[in-house]
Amino acid sequence: MVNTSPVLNTYPLSGYTFGTKEPKMEKDTSVADRLARMKLNYMKEGMRTSVEGILLVQEHNHPHILLLQIGNTFCKLPGGRLKPGENVGHLTYANFSYSAEIQGLKRKLSSKLAANSPALHPDWQIGECVAMWWRPNFETIMYPYCPPHITKPKECKKLFIVHLSEREYFAVPKNLKLLAVPLFELYDNVQTMSELGEQLIFKLELEIERVYVTLDLL
């Protein structure tokens, strides 16, 4: 039985309103710090599970992906780590509860992109999971599978499509920039985009490949 491809409606960037809110500082100032903190958390809580959202808008007839830029170089997808309590049951492999990860992603999206007042939060519509990445060691490299002989991965990250409606109000922390980056141009620009840091371009390439969606450009 072949599933039909999911339809993702994308709406013009001009339909969205962008405000600001108080800064949200990064917890770590360097990659090394980040990995060290990850190690500490692992000792306490086990494998880190994180979720990220792929939010697409339309500009110049091309789909653009929303990215958060920290400082001048580092970009990331909106999302973050799930709290231990958000994982019901075992923390091994991909066994975190689906509804918990959806709730967790909504929480993260609101934290990074929504005004503080809950009444002004977008009604986040989370779509399908398009990718899952694994971190075998306390290093920056991640893989789209759990590498062989790795029985204790350090992190599992899931990426979800987020269905935006035509109008939304976003509030971005003052210290971050929200970019709308042409999705497909990233594929040809791996070299320049590699300054984005970490594995971002790595991950985004896979989105380009995996996001087999019919983009309904309105």
Binding site for other proteins (CB under 8 A): 1-3, 5, 61-62, 90, 92-95, 97-99, 102, 123, 125-133, 143-145, 147-148, 151, 158, 160, 163, 184, 187, 205-206, 208-210, 212
Q: Tell me whether residue 196 or residue 207 sits nearer to other proteins (CB atom).
A: 207
| Closer residue to other proteins in complex, CB, 18/184 | 184
Query: Minimum distance between the CB of residue 8 and other proteins, rounded to whole angstroms?
Result: 12
Strand intervals (E) in the chain? 7-10, 17-21, 48-59, 62-70, 74-76, 79-81, 125-135, 155-163, 169-173, 176-182, 214-217
Q: How far is the CB of 76 from other proteins (least distance, A)?
A: 18
> Residue 177 is encoded by which pair of tokens?
């920039």
Asked if 35 and 140 touch (Cβ cutoff 8 Å), the reply is yes
Least separation in angstroms between CB 173 and other proteins? 26
Residue 43 DSSP SS3: helix
* CA 180 – CA 55 distance, rounded (Å): 9
Question: How many Cβ atoms sit within 10 Å of the Cβ of residue 62?
Answer: 15
Select 20 or 97, whichever has its Cβ closest to other proteins: 97
Minimum gap (Å) between residue 158 Cβ and other proteins: 8
Nearer to other proteins, 106 or 112 (CB): 106
